[in-house]
Structures are given as structure tokens and as C-alpha cells.
Structure 1
Amino acid sequence: MPPTPPARGSSRSADELNEAIRQLWPHPSMRLTPEQRAKYEQLVTEWAAAVRAGIVEAA
């Protein structure tokens, strides 16, 4: 039986999402605003899903 396809969510790759995270938070000592923090959390969640989808495809 083939593996379950990854859930459809983002069409962005893990690399694209990683770049978006880096642009949002260019330096670790910089504090994020509450709005930026919410965006950061969304991007990290989306990035993790993209990484998992890549692992499933590789398997």
C-alpha cells in the first residue's frame, strides 16, 4: 500500500519558508512584535509540514 500523501496546505517548499523566516527574524537578539511572533509561529508550523512532506516523498 502506498504511503498516505502529505496533507495539502502550503505550496511553498521548506527552503522558501526558511527564507521567509530568516527575513522576518534577521538576528536572534532582535525581539519580535506580537504580530511578527504570530507570523513566525505560522511560518515554522508550515515549514515543519513541508519538511515532513519531503521526508514522506523521499521514503
Structure 2
Amino acid sequence: MSPNSLTPGSVRSAAAVNEQIRALWIRSGGMLSAQERAEYELLVVEWAAAVRDEVIEAA
């Protein structure tokens, strides 16, 4: 996944991002390459933002 594929303000649910994270780990067999690690880090940041947005909406 390139950094360009995540547009600022893109709105995906935390569950959708979490599913992509899980798929990445399964696809990699639990050992991330440098490129997969970079993708994982972007996904975790996106997931955390989605969780914060969902908590704010719930409040």
C-alpha cells in the first residue's frame, strides 16, 4: 500500500481497517517485510484515527 492510497480525511470504519490489518498479517505469514511493515504502520495510524472518530461520534 502506498501512502497515496490513504487520502487525508478518508473515512473507513475501524472494523474495516482492522480487517485489512488482519489480512496483511495472514498474507505475510506473520513476518512482515519492510514494505509490509510500512503498510502496517499506515494502517495502524488510520485505525487509531477511526477509533477516535467513532468514540467522538458516540459521545
- What TM-score do the two structures reach when normalised by structure 2? 0.77
- CA–CA distance in structure 2, aligned partners of residues 11 and 57 of structure 1: 13
Structure (1 or 2) with the larger CA radius of gyration = 1
Higher share in helix: 2
Work out whether residues 10 and 50 of structure 1, in 8 Å CA contact, stay in contact via their aligned partners in 2.
Answer: no
Query: What is the aligned partner in structure 1 of residue 44 from structure 2?
Result: 44
> 1:17 touches 1:47 (CA, 8 Å); kept in 2?
yes
Greater relative contact order (CA < 8 Å, ≥ 6 in sequence): 1
- Runs of at least 5 residues in structure 1 that lack an aligned partner in the other structure: 1-7
Task: Give the count of matched residue pairs.
Answer: 51
Q: CA RMSD for the aligned pairs?
A: 1.8
List structure 1 segments (4+ residues) > 3 angstroms apart after TM superposition: none
